[in-house]
Structures are given as structure tokens and as C-alpha cells.
């Protein structure tokens, strides 16, 4: 259901956050669905419960999940998380493009850049 890459330089809790975000964005974890319990997920991933807790806390205070003591963590409704994540991706791509421009890339180079990445759409 969720995989960690021990060689990924990003912190473990961040990988957990990203993984859960993806599951939610893709609808695999639907609105009001219960997430795995902190302890259980920790066991599955063989990491410390505190690390999972940290990931859940992050999702919680970004409004992506809600949490009820003694019951569990659940997917928030109407969070529009998929749209939000896509918007973030767009913004990051924009930032990269601007960086390319500040490097003095010519119009031709930028066109080619766009062309070469647009091919991946149809992979």
C-alpha cells in the first residue's frame, strides 16, 4: 500500500506524507475512509510510530485528514487535494522555467525544452 525508499535523501516522514497524499489524490483512500493506524503503519514500514505520527500531524494541520482520539485518522472531505497538488506542481515547473530564462536560455532553447518534456505525456 505504501513504499519507502531508504536511499531517498528525503526524510522518511516526508515520504510517508507524499505516499498518503498520492493515495488520497488518486481516490484509493476516499473521503472519510480510515487511514491505517499509527502503530500499524509503523510496523508495516518498520519505522518508529513517532515518525508516522509526525507524518499524520502534517496531513492533519494541512486539513487533508482529520483525527479523532480513540477512533483513528480519516480522509477529510472536499479537500480538493488533487487540484492543490497539481497546482503546486505547475508552480514548481514555472519556477524552473523562470530559472532557465534567468540563465539566459534563448527562445529556441526554451521551445525545445518544452517539446522534449511534453513527449513524456504520452508514455
Partner DNA sequence: GTGGTCTAGACCACG
Partner DNA sequence: GTGGTCTAGACCACT
Supply the minimum distance, in Å, between the C-beta of residue 65 and a second copy: 11
Q: Which of 97, 101, 103 has its CA nearest to residue 117?
A: 97
DSSP letter at 76?
Answer: P
Binding a second copy by CB under 8 A: which of 1, 27, 43, 44? Answer: 27
Q: Using the rule CB under 8 A, which residue among 25, 35, 45, 52 binds a second copy? A: 25
* Residue 35 lies near DNA (rule: CB under 7 A): yes
Q: Which listed residue (73, 75, 76, 79) binds DNA by CB under 7 A?
A: 73
Q: Terminal CA-to-CA distance of the chain, rounded, Å?
A: 24
- Return the exposure string of 85-123: e unless at least 16 CB atoms fall within 10 Å of the residue's CB, then b: beeeeeeeeeeeeeeeeeeeeeeeeeeeeeeeeeeeeee
DSSP state of 33: P
Q: Is 57 in the site for DNA (CB under 7 A)?
A: yes
Interface with a second copy (CB under 8 A):
6-9, 11-12, 22, 25-27, 32, 61, 66-71, 77, 82, 85-86, 89-90, 92-94, 96-105, 107, 109-111, 113-114, 116-118, 120-121, 123
Amino acid at each position: 500500500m505504501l513504499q519507502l525508499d531508504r536511499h531517498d535523501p528525503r526524510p522518511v516522514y516526508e515520504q510517508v506524507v507524499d505516499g498518503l497524499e498520492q493515495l488520497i489524490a488518486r481516490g484509493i483512500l476516499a473521503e472519510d475512509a480510515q487511514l491505517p493506524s499509527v502503530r500499524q503503519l509503523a510496523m508495516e514500514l518498520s519505522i518508529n510510530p513517532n515518525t508516522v505520527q509526525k507524518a499524520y500531524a502534517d496531513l492533519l494541520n494541512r486539513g487533508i485528514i482529520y483525527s479523532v482520539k480513540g477512533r483513528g485518522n480519516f480522509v477529510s472531505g472536499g479537500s480538493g487535494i488533487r487540484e492543490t497538488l497539481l497546482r503546486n506542481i505547475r508552480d514548481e515547473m514555472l519556477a524552473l522555467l523562470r530559472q532557465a530564462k534567468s540563465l539566459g536560455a534563448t527562445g529556441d532553447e526554451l521551445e525545445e525544452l518544452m517539446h522534449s518534456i511534453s513527449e513524456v505525456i504520452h508514455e
